């Protein structure tokens, strides 16, 4: 049994390490390898997966193929339809099926780090790019009453508010102090903090008591958003767990065993990333 992660570029992917650790742990014969698939070859790659002689039982797709993978698969579940992008593919009954496990990964990370997070009621989502969609769906599925989406390009936040219904409201970045007032959860979904881009000063103490600040960026583990919240005495949850947990459903589909995210796995990945 062979599985893949296809992306472009792909050499920094931590997925082979995660799945390789689980394959070893469970004594399985399978492999999980990274495949560099440039955009012009992606359609042919998917066609080969659909072929009867395909080498692979399935795999992950990552940047820049998630939307294309969703569009080219034979079937996707409702959550994935909603998001419009897939990160996990597998063959079942002669069909290529697609799902998006980022929603699961986001929620499972907070379940682990901050049990009870679902009761925080009001969320502020910073950014309206591809990655924000899985987060918004997770918040709606977990009963958030109100989700404020802020984006530099307001139009993109408006598209999400239209798509996801009345509980989701679009705002400009300048609205942050207002929407943070009394909010329960703050999620950064932008690439700010990566590549030394400046992060704005944010007063997280405006949030309600018991509030939580999280970031889907996990390099560095303590992003500039999390650092600010920590200094202000507001609880934080880093994003590495989302990466680890999103891998669970795929591994189970391809190899038939549900693997566990534990401290040992986290330490193996942190070591490989030079975080320890
Ligand atoms: P991803 O798929 O990882 O979410 P993306 O779709 O390119 O990546 O989205 C990146 C997000 O970061 C967007 O919300 C983007 O804002 P715009 O839609 O206005 O581009 C946000 N972002 C990136 N650089 C930013 C910056 N310097 N200031 C504010 N927001 C930024």
Is the minimum distance from the CB of 87 to ligand 1 under 6 angstroms? no
Domains of the chain, first to last: 2-100+241-272 (3.40.50.10860), 104-238 (3.40.50.720)
Residue 171: name the closest of 156, 183, 157, 182 by CA. Answer: 157
Residue nearest to atom 14 of ligand 1 (CA): 127
Work out which ligand 1 atom sits closest to the CA atom of 153.
19
Q: How far apart are alpha carbons 19 and 152 in whole angstroms?
A: 36
Whether 136 lines ligand 1, by a CB cut-off of 6 Å, is no
User: How much distance in Å is there from the Cα of 216 to the middle of ligand 1?
Assistant: 13
Protein residue whose Cα sits closest to atom 22 of ligand 1: 190
- 160 ligand 1 Cβ < 6 A: no
- Rounded percentage of the chain residues whose pLDDT exceeds 90: 91
Helix (H) or strand (E) segment spanning residue 122: strand 122-126
CA of 55 from ligand 1 middle (Å) equals 36
Decide whether any atom of ligand 1 lies within 6 Å of the 64 Cβ. no
Please pick, among 14, 24, 50, 66, the residue that the annotation labels catalytic.
66
DSSP 8-state symbol, 210: T
Positions in the chain whose pLDDT score sits under 50: none
Given a contact cutoff of 8 angstroms between Cβ atoms, the answer to whether 147 and 125 are in contact is yes
Q: Is 259 helix (H, G, I), strand (E, B) or coil?
A: coil
Instruction: Name the closest-CA residue to atom 21, ligand 1.
Output: 190
Compute the distance from residue 251 Cα to the ligand 1 centre, in Å: 30
For ligand 1, atom 3, name the residue with the nearest CA.
131
Distance of CA 186 to CAs 71, 124, 152, 172, 212, Å?
Answer: 31, 5, 16, 15, 6
Round to whole Å and give the CA distance between 92 and 97: 7
212-215 β-sheet, strand order = 168-172, 146-151, 122-126, 185-188, 212-215, 235-237
Give the residue from 269, 253, 261, 211 showing the smallest Cα distance to 236.
211
> d(Cα 251, Cα 76) in Å, to the nearest integer?
17
Reply yes or no on whether 66 is catalytic: yes
Q: Beta strands 88-92 and 56-61: pairing type?
A: antiparallel
The residue behind tokens 């682990």 is 112
Which H or E run contains 164? helix 154-164
Cβ-count burial 27-39 (b if 16+ within 10 Å, e if not): ebebebbbeebee
């Amino acid at each position: 049994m062979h599985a893949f992660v296809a992306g472009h570029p792909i050499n920094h992917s931590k997925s082979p390490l995660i799945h390789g650790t689980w394959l070893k742990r469970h004594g399985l014969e399978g492999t999980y390898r990274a495949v560099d698939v440039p955009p012009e070859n992606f359609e042919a790659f998917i066609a080969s997966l659909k072929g009867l002689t395909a080498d692979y039982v399935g795999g992950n797709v990552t940047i820049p193929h998630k939307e294309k993978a969703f569009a080219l698969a034979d079937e996707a579940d409702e959550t994935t339809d909603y998001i419009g992008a897939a990160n996990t593919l597998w063959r079942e009954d002669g069909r290529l099926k697609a799902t998006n496990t980022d929603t699961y990964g986001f929620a499972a990370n907070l379940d682990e780090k901050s049990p009870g997070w679902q009761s925080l009621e009001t969320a502020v989502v910073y950014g309206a790019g591809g990655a924000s969609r899985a987060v918004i769906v997770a918040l709606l599925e977990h009963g958030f009453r109100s989700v404020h989406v802020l984006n530099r390009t307001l139009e993109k936040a408006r598209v999400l508010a239209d798509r996801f219904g009345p509980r989701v409201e679009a705002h400009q970045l300048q609205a942050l102090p207002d929407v943070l007032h009394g909010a329960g959860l703050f999620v950064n979904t932008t690439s700010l903090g990566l590549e030394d881009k400046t992060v704005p000063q944010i007063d997280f103490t405006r949030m309600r008591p018991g509030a939580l600040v999280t970031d889907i960026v996990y390099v560095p583990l303590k992003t500039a958003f999390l650092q600010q919240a920590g200094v202000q005495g507001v609880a934080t949850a880093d994003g590495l767990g989302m990466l680890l947990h999103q891998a669970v459903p795929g591994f189970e589909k391809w190899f038939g065993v549900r693997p566990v995210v534990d401290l040992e796995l986290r330490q193996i990945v942190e070591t490989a990333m030079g975080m320890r």
